Amino acid sequence: MPDPMDICNNNNTGDKIKKELARIAKEELRDTDSTRTQCLQSLREWVEQNGDIENCLTDDNFLLRFLRVKKFSIPMAQQVLLKYLNYRKKFSEIMYNLDYTDPKINELISRGYIFVSPFRDSQCRRVIIYDLSKFDVSKFNGVDLARSHAITYETLVDDDESQILGVHHVADVEAISPQFLTLFTITEFSYLIRWGEV
């Protein structure tokens, strides 16, 4: 098994990091130049020919997030892409116009409710930290919470390192209270959890 810590070594140059990431991607995700080229072409053609899909990005980086998470299985990547697009449509108030300068979202991020640690975990993955004590339930709502998460995840998943190595979540839930249950209906919460894997 590849050692992701080889990437974290501060003595690594950009080229060495790229080689190490390529090695991990190949061994763990079946991600090679030829597989990537072939699968990107297949997935892109499928998107363009699918009448149910409108206004979908087809750049390499966007499509790779779905191929890598499903280890380059085209049918599984198609399913998860459709799930993602349906999620965006179902929760358009959360997923469209994501802007960290929106006053409420900016305040949540500035307070430290959700942030990406400057340090990595033992597998060299980025660490997303949540601190529920920084989320004032009387001031913010469920859409604010979900949008702050969406901005964080959408930013991270654009990065090759995060697509290949994954991310690690750490949450301080000591401040959780029954008031948090009022942020979403049971139906909304189940949709968010079930559809929000991408």
Enter the tokens of residue 82. 């459709």
Residue 100 sits in the same domain as residue 72: no
Residue 107 sits in the same domain as residue 161: yes
Domain count, the chain: 2
Residue 99 sits in the same domain as residue 79: no
Containing structural domain, residue 176: 94-195
At residue 4, what is the residue type?
P
DSSP string of 56-86, one letter each residue = ---SHHHHHHHHHHTTT-HHHHHHHHHHHHH
- Rounded-to-integer distance, Cα 36 and Cα 66, Å: 12
- The predicted pLDDT at position 162 comes to 94
- Rounded-to-integer distance, Cα 130 and Cα 177, Å: 15
Residue 138 sits in the same domain as residue 46: no
- The predicted pLDDT at position 10 comes to 55
Q: Which among 177, 194, 82, 102 is positioned nearest to 138, based on CA atoms?
A: 177
Residue 179 sits in the same domain as residue 164: yes
Residue 14 sits in the same domain as residue 107: no
- Rounded-to-integer distance, Cα 102 and Cα 168, Å: 26
- The predicted pLDDT at position 16 comes to 77
Q: C-alpha angle with apex 197: 96 to 48, nearest 5 degrees?
A: 60
- The predicted pLDDT at position 13 comes to 61
Contacts of residue 102, defined as CB under 8 A and 6 or more positions apart, other chains included, come to 147
Among 88, 108, 130, the domain-final residue is 88
What sign does the CA torsion over 10, 14, 16, 21 have? positive
User: Mean pLDDT of residues grouped by 10 in the chain (198 residues)?
Assistant: 57 73 94 97 97 94 97 97 92 91 96 95 94 95 94 93 95 89 84 68
